[in-house]
């Protein structure tokens, strides 16, 4: 594991612990399962993503290890491989299934009028076999991009935002994303994590 990634993992642990919520990693992915996944995908993750999966394959639902910021902050749950694959393309690969999904996406999602997609991200895609879901909120998905345009970078991190529907470039790499995500967690924890507590207080006041 690169020192930069180890530093950000330790930083993530400290952030959670400072708010009385110890970080609880799951068992890391096995080398055999990771090799199987990369064979099925047809590409290899960058070393930081591989090492992060070896550290923990996903996180408990609601822990919100990740945060992305674009027009607003979105907290995200780090997914297991099975969770990532649940609403994605076929594993093992089934071209008939995949084409049906592409057709559904073309029908259901359209670029907002006059919206310009970042030129480093492939146009006219809403999901893609070579965009692997790493994390999700209720409606947004963070993805590893293994098919950038010539101006982009393999392994850049992109996201599908829902309502208004858009594909956005989030970071140039996973480590860049994690570094920025940790900064959001450090500086705006209450905004990110306390919504549920506020709702509980409102319910008690109504009673």
- pLDDT per residue as tens digits for the range 124-141: 777 888 999 999 988 889
Q: What pLDDT score was predicted for residue 205?
A: 45
Q: What pLDDT score was predicted for residue 198?
A: 43
* pLDDT band, residue 73 (cuts 50/70/90): confident
Residue 88 has pLDDT above 60, yes or no: yes
Could you read off the pLDDT of 166-194 as tens digits, one per residue? 889 999 999 999 999 999 999 988 888 76
Q: What pLDDT score was predicted for residue 204?
A: 42
Judge contact between 129 and 98, C-beta under 8 A: yes
Q: What pLDDT score was predicted for residue 52?
A: 98
Q: How far apart are CA 131 and CA 151, in angstroms?
A: 17
Q: What pLDDT score was predicted for residue 139?
A: 83
Q: Which two tokens stand for residue 75?
A: 């907290």
Q: What pLDDT score was predicted for residue 92?
A: 80
Residue 74 or 5, more confident: 5
Average pLDDT, the chain: 86
Cα distances (angstroms) measured from residue 82 to each of 37, 50, 142, 172, 188: 11, 16, 16, 25, 30
Residue 103 has pLDDT above 90, yes or no: no
Q: What pLDDT score was predicted for residue 110?
A: 61
Residue 47 has pLDDT above 50, yes or no: yes
Q: What pLDDT score was predicted for residue 115?
A: 63
Q: What pLDDT score was predicted for residue 196?
A: 46
């Amino acid at each position: 594991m690169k020192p930069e990634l180890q530093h950000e993992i330790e930083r993530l642990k400290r952030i959670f612990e400072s708010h009385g919520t110890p970080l609880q990693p799951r068992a890391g992915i096995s080398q055999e399962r990771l090799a199987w996944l990369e064979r099925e995908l047809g590409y290899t993750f960058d070393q930081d993503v591989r090492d992060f999966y070896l550290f923990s394959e996903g996180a408990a639902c609601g822990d919100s290890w990740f945060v992305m910021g674009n027009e607003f902050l979105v907290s995200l749950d780090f997914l297991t491989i099975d969770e990532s694959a649940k609403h994605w393309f076929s594993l093992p690969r089934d071209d008939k299934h995949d084409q049906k999904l592409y057709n559904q996406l073309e029908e259901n999602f359209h670029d907002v009028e006059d919206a310009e997609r970042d030129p480093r991200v492939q146009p006219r895609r809403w999901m893609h076999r070579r965009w692997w879901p790493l994390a999700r909120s209720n409606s947004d998905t963070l993805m590893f991009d293994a098919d950038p345009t010539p101006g982009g970078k393999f392994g850049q991190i992109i996201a599908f935002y829902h309502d208004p529907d858009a594909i956005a470039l989030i970071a140039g790499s996973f480590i860049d994303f994690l570094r920025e995500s940790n900064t959001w967690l450090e500086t705006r924890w209450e905004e990110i994590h306390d919504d549920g507590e506020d709702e509980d207080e409102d319910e008690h006041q109504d009673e």
